[in-house]
Each structure stands twice: as C-alpha cells, then as structure tokens.
Amino acid sequence: MARLEFFVVAESVSIDQLTNKLSVFNVLEEVREEEFPTTLLGCVVVSLWNAEPGDEERDFQIQLEMVAPDGQTRPFEQNLRIPRRRTRSILQLRGIPVPCAGELVFRISLNNEYKASHVVHVVRDDDAGHG
C-alpha cells in the first residue's frame, strides 16, 4: 500500500509550473481569535504519497477527518492514484467553523488505515502569549 511521506496543514501552497516544485506557506500551528464562535477562512491540506510495488494505477481512498475543539467532526474523502513513484494530494478547505478555543485536529487515513495527525492550537487572542 502507498506510504505517506509527509502531511501538513498550511494557509496556502504553490506549485512552480516550470519545475513542478511545491512550496508550502504558513504552516498552521496556532490560530489566534478574538472571539468565538468564529470561522477560519480556509487552509490547504498537503500530503505526499510514495508508491510501493504494485501500486501503479491502483485507486486509493484518502479519508481526512477534521475534529473541531468541541468534538464535532467533518469528514472529507478524495480518490488517489499514483501513476509513477509518488504523487501529491492537495485539498483546499474553506469556511472552517471553530466554535471555541482548543485543538483543531486533522487526521489522515488511507483506505481506512490511520496514517498521521496535524494539530492546530486555537487560542483566544488574549491567551496567545501564555503557552
């Protein structure tokens, strides 16, 4: 089965048209908000998958689960094919509801097998310097 090389949540990405190089901008580690509930305008979830022997042209299913600080879960699914040695998955998310301060957790699985998590700490702006 395909192997996860990396998984990150950021504000934006860019792919150079000439070189196909990926740049990831502003990795989300902490978000500061003045009041809750609020809505994050958006983010991008980037993962890189390496093919194992036999994975060529096989269909995989990426499951992304976003868990809000209050425990509410939003699932996202994406089909993945790896035509060569590796491929990227880039998922743009918009209008992310954040009901309260706490941890916003992104979990990624492949064919229902958990692979990794990315945690974004959501803090009230007056608490931002305390931790």
- pLDDT computed for residue 126 by the predictor: 81
- pLDDT computed for residue 83 by the predictor: 87
Structural domain total, the chain = 1
Judged by phi (left if over 0) then psi (alpha if -120 to 50, else beta), residue 41 lies in alpha
- pLDDT computed for residue 129 by the predictor: 52
d(CA 65, CA 116): 11
CA distances from 57 to 18, 41, 101 (A): 25, 35, 42
- pLDDT computed for residue 57 by the predictor: 75
Sheet (strand 38-50) strand order: 22-27, 3-15, 38-50, 86-98
Ordered mean pLDDT values, 10 residues apiece, the chain (131 residues): 96 97 97 94 96 89 97 96 92 95 98 98 75 50
The CA angle 113-26-35, to the nearest 5 degrees, is: 90
- pLDDT computed for residue 56 by the predictor: 82
The DSSP call for residue 83 is: S
Residue numbers of the domain that contains 66: 3-130
d(CA 71, CA 88): 29
Burial class (CB in 10 A: 0-12, 13-18, 19+), 119: middle
d(CA 62, CA 47): 10
- pLDDT computed for residue 66 by the predictor: 97
- pLDDT computed for residue 128 by the predictor: 46
Q: What is the CATH number of the domain that holds 19?
A: 2.60.40.2550
